[in-house]
Structure 1
Amino acid sequence: MRLPRRLFCTALLGLAAGFNAASALAADPQAGAQYVVLPVPQPTDTGKKVEVIEFFAYYCPHCYAFEPALEAWVKKQGDNIVFKRVHVPRDASVLPQQRLFYTLDAMGLLSQYHQKVFDAMHQQHLRLSSDEQVFDWVAQNGIDRAKFIDTYRSFGIQAKLRRASAMMEAYGVDRWPLVVIDGRFITSPSHAGAGAPEGTTEAQQQQTALQAMDFLVTKAKADKR
């Protein structure tokens, strides 16, 4: 069927406007939309490099979905950034997962086992909601059970748990995954999804968030010069 000329032109204009809006969104994320400026900037200790912190939880399906894209983004950034993770607290069932994260980190095993923990929970459907479940899992995955338990129950890990709670409050973390850049800017796939057209997929929201992160790292680097 052939559209009337006026309708055809209107449709073309609508497509062009949508394309231009999408291009502008990718090139110039907006404060209050794709990212938020923290009312009180938090101190960083990364010198000329830009600090990037992800707040996440192992049980969170959106964190699991975001992980591959985030990991690729971190690798792409290279020496531009110092990347850190904070496992958020919630309740008693999440505490063993939080302790698992910080124990792996303290033992220098996080890079080797981080994705495996995610897969255990979201593919194998392990709950990892008790200390014994965590201990059994680490032993089955080749980690020295006794050494792990010693670290897991140490004062150092307890201090990291307290620090995570304090950081969550200081940054006003109300959702996850959530990314803080340079102690000043917050973004996330859910921020990117706010106001997005109906039907926008989670993967598209993730890409918009990553574009905002590119923009904010560039901005933060320029400010450090």
Structure 2
Amino acid sequence: MRSLRFALIAATMVASTAFASPADPKNGVDYQTLSAPQPVQATGKKVEVIEFFAYHCPACNMLEPAFNGWIKKQGDNIHVRRIHLPFQGPADPEAHLFLTLEAMGKLDQYHHRVFQAVHVQRQRLMKDDQIIEWAVKNGLDRAKFMETWNSFGVTTKLRRLNQISGAYKVSGTPTIIIDGKYVVSPSQVAEANKIQDVGQMLQATTQVMDALVKKAAATK
């Protein structure tokens, strides 16, 4: 999967090399355009940005600080959505956790904690019982968590994730979708620009995203 391939690239990148800034990214090189653009939820002049991610994905964990910084920089220019790719199928436990936290209004408080638990504390959160135990130990009320976890709204969204990721042609993480049609991933940007440094790769990826947000905004 692309998340594992990107993690391997990132783990072995130690040398800094010069690269051409992708300020004018090329379709089919720095990014892809979906043949069937998807509807967006952003309103007015805002450009929709979707991050397909997974909590267990090392590359997603690596991208998280740069992505959050980019979101703050863009400000009111964008409307951001996060979608957990269901690697384990229609009942993916990690995606189930994300949707439960989202429904409880706890994402701002707990999203980074999940990444820290998996990638820093090395906790296994790949099964329902592991996740429920972690949630309770980290201060979430068990009754409220389980009520939301088993709710119709959360379980319905969980079952639809495979359909959604299929519509966007996403099979790996992290993948960014801009304006329902432009597809960007750090691994593609790195390969296209022959970047061998993690920091430069993240910088180049956000530069491509900047350009695509500007491109999308110009058509609104």
TM-score, L = length of structure 1: 0.85
Structure 1 counterpart of 2:92: 95
* Matched-pair contact (CA < 8 Å) for 2:50–2:177: yes
The answer to whether 1:149 aligns with 2:117 is: no
Between the two proteins, what is the percent identity of the paired residues?
Answer: 47
Structure 2 counterpart of 1:5: none
The answer to whether 1:176 aligns with 2:173 is: yes
Query: Which stretch shows the higher mean deviation, 54-63 or 187-196?
Result: 187-196
Rounded Cα–Cα distance in structure 2 between residues aligned with 1:73 and 1:206: 10
Q: Which runs of 5+ in 2 are unaligned?
A: 1-16
Helix, strand or coil: the match of 1:28?
coil
* Matched-pair contact (CA < 8 Å) for 2:52–2:176: yes
> Over the residues paired in the alignment, what is the CA RMSD in angstroms?
1.7
* Matched-pair contact (CA < 8 Å) for 2:30–2:192: no
Structure 2 counterpart of 1:62: 59
More helix by share: 1
* Matched-pair contact (CA < 8 Å) for 1:56–1:63: yes
Map 1:40-51 to 2 at 5 A.
Answer: 40-48=36-44, 49-51=46-48
Q: 1:136 aligns with which of 133, 137, 143?
A: 133
The answer to whether 1:113 aligns with 2:110 is: yes
* Paired amino acid for 1:145: R
Helix, strand or coil: the match of 1:166?
helix
- The superposition leaves residues 185-212 of structure 1 with CA deviations (integer Å, 9 ceiling, x where unpaired) of 0001011012333x61233222111100
- The superposition leaves residues 25-58 of structure 1 with CA deviations (integer Å, 9 ceiling, x where unpaired) of 4321111111111111111121221000000000
The answer to whether 1:35 aligns with 2:31 is: yes
- The superposition leaves residues 88-137 of structure 1 with CA deviations (integer Å, 9 ceiling, x where unpaired) of 01126x82211110000000000110000000000111111222211111
Structure 2 counterpart of 1:80: 77
* Paired amino acid for 2:172: R
* Matched-pair contact (CA < 8 Å) for 2:50–2:176: yes
Higher relative contact order (CA 8 A, sep 6+): 2
Q: Which runs of 5+ in 1 are unaligned?
A: 1-17
* Matched-pair contact (CA < 8 Å) for 2:32–2:182: yes
TM-score, L = length of structure 2: 0.87
Rounded Cα–Cα distance in structure 2 between residues aligned with 1:184 and 1:128: 32
* Matched-pair contact (CA < 8 Å) for 2:22–2:30: no
Alignment coverage as a number of residue pairs: 202
